Amino acid sequence: MKTQKFTIIFLVALMTFTSCKKSFVEQTDPNAVPVSDSFKTESDVLLAVNGAYAALRSSDNIGEGSGLYTDERSDDTGRDDAQSNAGEPFQFGDFSLLPGNTYLKSHWLNLYQAITRCNNVTFYIDKVTFASASTKGQYLAQVKFLRALMYFQLVRKWGPVPIVTVPLISAADVSTYTYRQSEAAVYAQIVADLKDALTSDLPNLQTGANAGRVGKAAINGLLGQVYLTMASTLTDGKADNLTNANTYLTACYNMRPFTTLSAIPYADVFDVNKKTATNGEAIFEIVNLQGNVTYSSSIAANNQPLGETINSLKVTPGVGGNVTRDLVNDYETNDPRQTFSVKYAAATAVLDYFVTKYRDATATATVNGYGGNNTPIMRYADIILLLAECNANQGNTALAIQYLDMVRARAGVPPYAVASANPAYSSKYPTLKLAILHERRVELAFEHTRWFDLIRTFTTAELVAFFKAKSQSTFGLAKLANFTTKDRYYPIPLDEYKLDPARMYQNPGY
C-alpha cells in the first residue's frame, strides 16, 4: 500500500497531522482534524508554537538524553556495555554505525518532526487574524529559529539533506521534496530563517515565565555559530563568513545581563536552587520542572552509578553514565570544573567516572530522581569561546586571547600567557587553536558541543589523525581503530536511501 511505503521514511515525520492517498482498506478517522482547521485563533497558533518547542525535549532530538548523537560520537563519553541493549547505541561511539541503525533513523525522524511543526505555523499562520502584528511576528520568529536549529543539526551530521519549508499534504508532495540538497543550500535556508527572526521585536533575553523561549540574543548567537561553521565547512566565502560570524557573535555578547563572566560562579550556572533567580549566563535552554513526573530532568539520576549519592536521591543499581579518561585527563591541575562535573565511582562493579554536572539530590526531586536542572543549549561562556575561535581564525590573536581568558579567569585557572609558559600545557596545546578547543571541552563538557567543535576545528583528514593519535587505554571499549574519513558524517538512514537511491544517495564509506 502506498501509505505503508511512506511510513518507512523520514517524511512520515514531515507529514504528521496531514493526509495522503488511502487504500480501500484504510478508513478515515471521523474525529481527525486537518491541520489547516486547527489554526483559527491566536491561542491555536500559540499551541502550535509550544508544540514546536516540545519537540526539542526528546532524547531523539536535542534534549538532555541526546548525547548519544554528539558526546558519545566524540571523545567525551562512551558506554561500558557493548552488548545487549547497548548494541545499536554503541555503534555511534565505536565508529561502526550502520545505515540500518534504528536510533539513527529515530534521530532523523525526530528532527524532521520538529521541522514539520514549525512549517505548519509558518504556512497556516496567515489564516489567523491577530490583534497585534507584534505577536504574530514573535511567533514566526520563534519557529523560524527552531527550524534553523533543526537544519543546523541535520547539515552538520549528514551533510546534504532534504529542505522542506511547507507542509506536505500528498504523496506527490513527498516525492517532490525527497532529495538531498547541497550543504550550501541548507545553510542558505538556515541563514534566511535566522535573519527573518531578527526582524521581530522579541526581547533580547527571555526570563521569568518566558524562560525557555527564544530571544534575540539566541538568534544572534546561533547565526554567529552558523557563519563560523560555514567558514570551516564551505569552500567559498571563508573571510566573509568569519566577518559575519564575528558580527553576530558580538551582537549576542553585547546583550549579556552581566558585566564580567566571573560575576557568575561556574557552579551557580548548574545550581538547581538558583536557576529560578534567573541564570544570568543562560541564553537558550530547555526548562525542566523539579519534581514533575513529565517535565523534570532525569539526567542526574540516569548518570548516577551504584554506591553514589551526589547526583540524586534515587538509588540506582547500575553503572551509570561513562566519562572517558581521555576527557578527565584533559582537565588542568586544580581546575574546579573537573571536581564539579565528574566524579569517580569506586564501587567494584563500576570503577569509572560519571557525570555530576546536572546534580539534583534535593527532596523536591524525590527518590524518583525528578530533577530540576535545565538543559543548556546556548550560554555566554559558549559565545565567548566562539568569539575567541573566530578572532583567532581572523588573525586577531590578542583579542582571541582576551576572550579565552574571560572563561579561564572565571574557572580560576591561569591566564593563557602564564599557562602556555608551562611545558605541561604547551606540549598538549601548542597552538592557540588547540588551546581554545581544549577550553571549550572542559568548560562545556556534556552540553553536546564537543563533536561539533571537533568537526569545525579539523578537516576530515585532520580529524582522523586526531582520533588515531589518542590512547585506546583512555578511550574505553569503543575502538579508535575504526575511525576513518567516513565518520565525518552519519550514513543516510537505510529506509531513506532505499526510497530513492539516486536522489537520496548514501554518504561515502557506508
pLDDT digits (tens, 9 = 90+) for 68-94: 999 999 999 999 876 555 689 999 999
Report residue 337: phi and psi, to 5°: -70, -25
Q: How many CA atoms lie within 13 A of 119 on its CB side?
A: 21
3-state secondary structure 134-151: HHHHHHHHHHHHHHHHHH
CA distance 147 to 46: 16
* First-residue to last-residue Cα distance in the chain: 29
- How far CA 478 is from CA of 76, 276, 373, in Å, comes to 12, 39, 30
Q: What percentage of residues in the chain have a pLDDT greater than 70?
A: 92
Rounded-to-integer distance, Cα 408 and Cα 422, Å: 15
Residues with Cβ within 8 Å of 37's Cβ and at least 6 positions away in sequence, in order, are none
How far apart are alpha carbons 69 and 426 in whole angstroms?
A: 31
Residues ≥6 apart with Cβ < 8 Å to 347: 305, 306, 307, 308
The pLDDT assigned to 275 comes to: 79
Q: Give the amino acid at 74.
A: S
Which DSSP symbol is given to 161? Answer: B
Global pTM exceeds 0.85: yes
Sheet holding 322-323, edge to edge: 77-78, 322-323, 352-355, 342-345
pLDDT tens by residue, 474-496: 999 999 999 999 999 999 999 99
Whether 10 has a pLDDT exceeding 50, the answer reads no
Digit-coded pLDDT (tens) for 85-118: 568 999 999 999 999 999 999 999 999 999 999 9
Which residue do the cell numbers 569503543 mark? Answer: 478
For helices 450-457 and 216-233, what crossing angle results, to 10°?
40
pLDDT of 3 > 60? The answer is no
If one compares 175 and 160, the residue with the highest pLDDT of the two is: 160
Q: Vertex 290, ends 286 and 293: CA angle to 5°? A: 95
The alpha carbon of residue 221 and the mean position of all alpha carbons in its chain are separated, in whole angstroms, by 14
Query: Which of 17-21, 290-294, 303-307, 417-421 shows the lowest mean pLDDT across its residues?
Result: 17-21
CATH architecture of 1-25+35-182+485-510: Alpha Horseshoe (1.25)
> Where in the chain do CATH 1.25.40.390 domains reside?
1-25+35-182+485-510
Distance CA 321, CA 431 (A): 32
What pLDDT was estimated at residue 80? 80
